[in-house]
């Protein structure tokens, strides 16, 4: 990076820090010393059945993630906000469904796509934690949109050709990157690290090396032949490393945590390790090739398992294990061809027995792994059937740190702290309902065992295509405009009760309209529990 860019980065970060009020008062710092460190490990396209602690018939083992579950709580009814990545990441960072930002659905960004779904004035989870004295960092896949300008100060949009039109002097420091949304430290890629150009690294709002080289997919190693699918050709920066992306993201996370503990050991930290495993293309680092007998994708998930183990070992080595909450989650279900190929080649069901996969409104598209571990606070070895959404992480962390959420903040976020602590009666659901959105932005609504899909078909994938046709099910209510299932008696979503349970269907349709028009699905006047009351 040249001197001019370095100076602009320093000035930009200083102005941003002042705008947020720095790290708070001395009193805030003193209180912050009692608060736990928080690490979120956010997996990509990892299905419900992709971990051995969720799937006893998995074609490989995930011992370190299983250990994480054994030492904490594993949720079996956890859901991503959306069935694709960018809207789900918005849900993680904002505590809200994507239609709060866009008015309906939200796609995934490519090229210099933006602006950010995280609009100015939307409280982010990092900004919330900063008010309580946390130092915050995010490392890996960002993918919620960024604003890029050309030489005429015109904002650029999606499109691989637009990558060459970026004026980096005018575009950086990024006005809506992680450091403008509450993160003190960041090392990210704008889109899917190995799938969607623009292929560049962004550190603290600055592009380390502009995209000036044309990437060709045939330059990559090709383990297993077909597994290189979905590596788009486009523009990349010199030295961009496709094969070791997640190793790099872990190294940046470790450096952030280690340096923070060295410099300010009495200040809590919040770190997000946003991996690209197990998104297509399947490109495990060289040292993991052949690690399992389940082909390249099995090796890829094994790499993720190793990285989770390294996080666990790191907090143990730094002697902060007992005061660190680790959350493990995925942004949606497994990719279509991955589900197909793993079933055919390795008798492995990445959807874990649920109908559907990535992009679908059926359970396989949004029912995902969710594990929480906090030694001494979360009783170990528990399995919870509580219905929860990734959006709930926001209110749960606010409850821990004693932050009172305003009604306009995190409007789809419920406090799941009593479930984590094991004080909630499992027969009593904290959530009276739960919203998800499929690829096209259409809604799915849960209420207890009942599930209403406000659309026909999958909401995402075309089950008339050759590779999907084997997984198509007969339509039991072909004239219906939506779908109604009872997951207790029909977990496979095979029998549409749209007409036969008309009263329940109308009730859920009316509830969905109220939730959409009220501007929130979470309760008002949420009060945090606070760590001193745990």
Give pLDDT tens digits for 169-197: 999 999 999 999 999 999 999 999 999 99
Say if residues 531 and 323 touch (Cβ distance below 8 Å): no
Examine the pLDDT at 328 and tell me if it is beyond 60.
yes
Torsions phi, psi of 528, nearest 5?
-70, 150
Let me know if residue 496 belongs to a domain.
no
Let me know if residue 268 belongs to a domain.
yes
Q: Is the pTM of this model over 0.85?
A: yes
Say if residues 236 and 242 touch (Cβ distance below 8 Å): no
Overall domain count for the chain:
1
- Mean per-residue pLDDT of the chain: 93
Residue 398 structural domain: 3-406
pLDDT of residue 133: 96
Strands (E), 317-414: 324-330, 370-373, 382-389
Say if residues 521 and 412 touch (Cβ distance below 8 Å): yes
Let me know if residue 533 belongs to a domain.
no
Quote the CA–CA distance of 457 and 179 in Å, as a whole number.
40
Residue given tokens 């659309």 in the structure block? 455
**CATH number, domain at 237?**
3.40.720.10
Quote the CA–CA distance of 275 and 295 in Å, as a whole number.
20
Let me know if residue 11 belongs to a domain.
yes
Average pLDDT over residues 26-53: 83
pLDDT of residue 226: 92
Say if residues 217 and 195 touch (Cβ distance below 8 Å): no
Let me know if residue 447 belongs to a domain.
no
Quote the CA–CA distance of 260 and 409 in Å, as a whole number.
29
Examine the pLDDT at 136 and tell me if it is beyond 80.
yes
Cβ neighbours, 10 Å, residue 84: 27
Examine the pLDDT at 427 and tell me if it is beyond 90.
yes
Let me know if residue 412 belongs to a domain.
no
Give pLDDT tens digits for 193-234: 999 999 999 999 999 999 999 999 888 887 668 999 999 999
Let me know if residue 391 belongs to a domain.
yes
Let me know if residue 426 belongs to a domain.
no
Give pLDDT tens digits for 6-36: 333 433 433 333 333 333 333 344 445 589 9
Closest CA to 44 of 288, 280, 386, 298: 280
Q: Sign of dihedral through CA atoms 87, 90, 91, 97?
A: negative
Which region holds residue 230: left if phi is over 0, alpha if psi is between -120 and 50, else beta?
left
């Amino acid at each position: 990076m040249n001197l001019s860019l370095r100076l602009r980065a320093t000035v930009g970060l200083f102005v941003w820090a002042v705008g947020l009020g720095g790290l708070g008062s001395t009193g805030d710092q003193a209180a912050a010393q009692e608060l736990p460190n928080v690490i979120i490990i956010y997996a990509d396209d990892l299905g419900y059945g992709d971990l051995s602690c969720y799937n006893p018939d998995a074609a490989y083992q995930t011992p370190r993630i299983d250990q994480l579950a054994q030492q904490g709580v594993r949720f079996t009814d956890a859901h991503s906000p959306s069935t694709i990545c960018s809207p789900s990441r918005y849900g993680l960072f904002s505590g809200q469904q994507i239609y709060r930002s866009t008015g309906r659905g939200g796609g995934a960004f490519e090229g210099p796509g933006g602006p950010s779904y995280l609009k100015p004035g939307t409280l982010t989870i990092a900004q919330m934690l900063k008010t309580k004295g946390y130092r915050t960092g995010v490392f890996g896949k960002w993918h919620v949109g960024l604003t890029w300008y050309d030489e005429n100060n015109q904002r650029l949009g999606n499109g691989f050709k637009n990558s060459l039109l970026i004026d980096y002097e005018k575009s950086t420091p990024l006005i809506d990157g992680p450091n403008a949304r509450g993160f003190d430290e960041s090392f990210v890629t704008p889109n899917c690290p190995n799938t969607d150009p623009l292929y560049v690294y962004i550190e603290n709002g600055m592009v380390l090396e502009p995209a000036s080289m044309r990437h060709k997919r045939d330059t990559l190693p090709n383990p297993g032949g077909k597994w290189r699918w979905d590596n788009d050709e486009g523009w990349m920066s010199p030295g961009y490393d496709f094969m070791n992306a997640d190793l790099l993201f872990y190294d940046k996370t470790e450096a952030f945590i280690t340096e923070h503990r060295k410099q300010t050991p009495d200040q809590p930290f919040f770190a997000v390790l946003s991996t690209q495993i197990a998104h297509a293309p399947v490109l495990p680092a060289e040292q993991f090739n052949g690690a399992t007998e389940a082909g390249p994708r099995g090796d890829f998930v094994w790499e993720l398992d190793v990285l989770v183990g390294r996080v666990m070992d790191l907090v143990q080595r730094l002697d902060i294990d007992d005061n660190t909450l680790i959350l493990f989650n995925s942004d949606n279900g497994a990719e279509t061809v991955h589900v197909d190929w793993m079933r055919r080649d390795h008798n492995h069901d990445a959807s874990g027995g649920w109908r559907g996969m990535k992009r679908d409104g059926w359970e396989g598209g949004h029912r995902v792994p969710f594990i929480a571990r906090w030694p001494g606070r979360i009783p170990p070895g528990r399995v919870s059937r509580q219905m929860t959404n990734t959006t709930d992480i926001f209110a749960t962390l606010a409850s821990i740190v004693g932050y009172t959420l305003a009604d306009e903040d995190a409007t789809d976020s419920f406090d799941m702290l009593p479930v984590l602590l094991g004080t909630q009666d499992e027969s009593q659901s904290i959530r009276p309902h739960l919203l998800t959105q499929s690829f096209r932005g259409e809604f799915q609504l849960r209420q207890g065992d009942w599930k209403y899909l406000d659309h026909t078909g999958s909401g995402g994938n075309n089950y008339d295509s050759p590779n999907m046709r084997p997984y198509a099910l007969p339509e039991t209510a072909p004239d219906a405009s939506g779908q109604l299932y009872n997951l207790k008696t029909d977990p496979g979503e095979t029998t549409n009760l749209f007409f036969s349970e008309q009263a329940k269907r109308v009730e859920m349709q009316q509830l969905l309209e109220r939730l959409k028009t009220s501007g929130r699905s979470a309760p008002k006047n949420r009060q945090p529990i606070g760590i001193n009351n745990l």
